[in-house]
Amino acid sequence: MATLDAQTLTVDALAVVAAALYLVVGRFLARRRVSHEARGPLRGFVLWWIGLGAVSLVGVVLSFFDLAQASAAVVRIILYAIFLVYIALMVGLLYYLTYLYTGRSWLVVLSLAYTALFALLVYIIERENVGKLLSEGYEPVRDVWSLVLTLAFTAPPLAAALAYFALIFRVEDRTSRYRIAMVSGGIALWFAYSTIASALRFVSGATGQSFAGQVAGQLLGLLAAAMVLLAYLPPSFVRRRFGIVSLADEMPAEEESPRRQAGMVSLRAPTATEDRSRARGPPAAS
């Protein structure tokens, strides 16, 4: 068993709180009713939050063990399992965000891209001393390739979140704009910090996160999860002040896709049937 200091215990406590909130968000999103075509992307988003909560709890458990003393085989199994799960979560998150923005499924492309990234990750891990790699905190950014790998995990969700946020200027409904701002804003802030922190560690030559950096990362994760939850369950004063509709107040009879519920405009030309439907009146507010 590893001896934990006050800083490690603080980070672990924040990780447990964050994991609990991630699981709550995932559970809430899993209960949303959506159309058949949107179930896959929504499941990807659910996978991201529930999987992130599970990975966070596993990380807390692992902090109690001195894995640097374990055999190379055990270390490899742990590292590759963690990274495989995290890659699956990243694919789920990007599957959802890219669907919201484009209305198309990019699951195959994303899966192939992140499979290639995993292969690069394996190369970097095997190139380093595995035991030393683990003891230095999972993130030894020592050369350009390591930096590229790190940014490959943080930059795509940041770009996708910013693209989704840009759609706020194409909708007029207050509830839709609020939800887009909250969901995309939380994810963008979280991954913007990770991207900048990775670049700064590379410039400074640091091989791991500082205590302040770990705390900031956990707090931003909490903020992102809270913003996603509040996007659909806004406080009463927000609903009254800005005229925002809570998801709990909406009629559950009609199943809608996440793109419709988020208030996103269609990026394709409307069909004749849709034109006739719009002529009869505007759709229900999301």
**151-160 pLDDT per residue, tens:** 888 899 999 9
* Domain coordinates in residue numbering, the chain: 6-248+257-263
List the Cα angle 3/78/224 in 5-degree steps. 80
Please tell me the least confidently modeled range out of 90-99, 164-173, 232-241, 247-256.
Answer: 247-256
Q: Helix count (H) and strand count (E) of the chain?
A: 11, 0
pLDDT digits (tens, 9 = 90+) for 192-250: 998 888 888 777 766 667 888 889 999 999 999 999 999 999 999 999 999 998 887 76
Say yes or no: domain 6-248+257-263 is CATH 3.30.1490. no
How many angstroms separate the CA atoms of 255 and 63, rounded?
A: 43
How many angstroms separate the CA atoms of 12 and 50, rounded?
A: 18
The overall average pLDDT reported for the chain is: 80
